[in-house]
Structure 1
Amino acid sequence: MAIKNYKGPRSVQPKEEVLLRVRHYMTTKLITFLPDQSVEEVIEALLKYRISGGPVVNENYELIGIISEGDCIKHISEKRYHNMPSPNKLVKEHMIKNVETIDGDMNIFDAANKFLNEKRRRFPIVENGKLVGQISQKDILKATLELKSQIW
């Protein structure tokens, strides 16, 4: 009689569970924008702080949109196309209003998959209706470097 599958005795070593939550790697000190700011002010801030976009919040720090470099480029392109001076356009006219957020308790690897599937550069984190942070693709990369010596 042949043995089909013999794995032999195993020593069971409990794996230490590493909590890899979005909230541990998200950025909490954010550059935010207001809906009544001009797009030119946003462009200046993006260049000054070397960021590619940011959340738009109201006076209660509730997330109402996101504005990115692409939104600003679209504004510039529209001005150039019509070859006319245009009044200062406001953030609320160019921001993305339907913003997908993620939970701060989400596993960092689930968040990485969400980045891949949604093709986004950043996700805001909202708790109790208020913006509390943002996770970016760079934050995911930093987390993986920090954790490379640990059991995943």
Structure 2
Amino acid sequence: MGIKSFQGVRKTVKKEFEAPILVEDYMTKKLITFKPDQSILEVMELFTKHNISGGPVLDNNGFLVGIISEADCMKQISESRYFNQPILNKSVENFMTRDVEFISPDISIFDAAGIFVRHNRRRLPVLKNDILVGQISRKDVVIAALKLNGQNYK
């Protein structure tokens, strides 16, 4: 004889996923941006003042031309130590990363996670029609994943 269940027939519960899953829902929209001719010393000061580790570099027309990060600043610090000189007032364009991967605001955070894994970046600028509209970081993707924990995805 089989085991009987005294709970009765269980109703199938279908979870509807309504939480946002797009990059534009989690990206930072108010950015600290930098200019190519800006002093690397000023950039380092802004990093500490605003508690950021990098940001987009825009030309005079507002188009993305690079990314400057703490790692790029480390090059300047290392060079100054090597040549036994104070940190020189060189410009951002000497140290920024020019070959920038970017992401579209309408892709899912899951696809963004894959891009972060493939390109080993800490942040990605978000462009819409070649215009910078935000930036998403690995931390933003982690936060999104925590918010989505336990959901079923369509």
- TM-score tier after normalising by the smaller chain length: 0.7 to 0.9
1:53 equivalent to 2:54? Answer yes
Measure, in 1, the Cα distance between the counterparts of 2:77 and 2:93: 15
Measure, in 2, the Cα distance between the counterparts of 1:102 and 1:126: 6
SS at match of 2:85: coil
Correspondences of 1:89-128 after superposition (within 5 Å): 89-128=90-129
Aligned CA-pair RMSD: 2.1
Q: Which moved more, 1:26-35 or 1:11-20?
A: 11-20
Structure 1: which 4+ aligned runs deviate by more than 4 Å?
A: 11-19
Summarize deviations over 1:46-90 as a string: whole Å, max 9, x none. 111111111101122211100110110110110111113464100
SS at match of 1:70: helix
Deviation at 1:41, TM superposition (A): 0.6
Q: Is the 8 A contact 1:18 1:151 kept in 2?
A: no
Deviation at 1:151, TM superposition (A): 2.3
Show the counterpart of 2:68. 67
Instruction: Count the aligned residue pairs.
Output: 143
Measure, in 2, the Cα distance between the counterparts of 1:64 and 1:124: 11
Measure, in 2, the Cα distance between the counterparts of 1:143 and 1:67: 25
Show the counterpart of 2:22. 21
Give ranges in structure 1 of 5+ residues lacking alignment: 1-10
Deviation at 1:20, TM superposition (A): 1.1
Measure, in 1, the Cα distance between the counterparts of 2:17 and 2:32: 36
Q: Is the 8 A contact 2:35 2:59 kept in 1?
A: yes
Correspondences of 1:136-151 after superposition (within 5 Å): 136-151=137-152
1:37 partner amino acid: Q
TM-score norm. by structure 2 comes to 0.84
CA 1:50–1:16 in 2, change beyond 3 Å: closer, same or farther?
A: closer
Q: Percent identity?
A: 51
Measure, in 2, the Cα distance between the counterparts of 1:14 and 1:147: 12
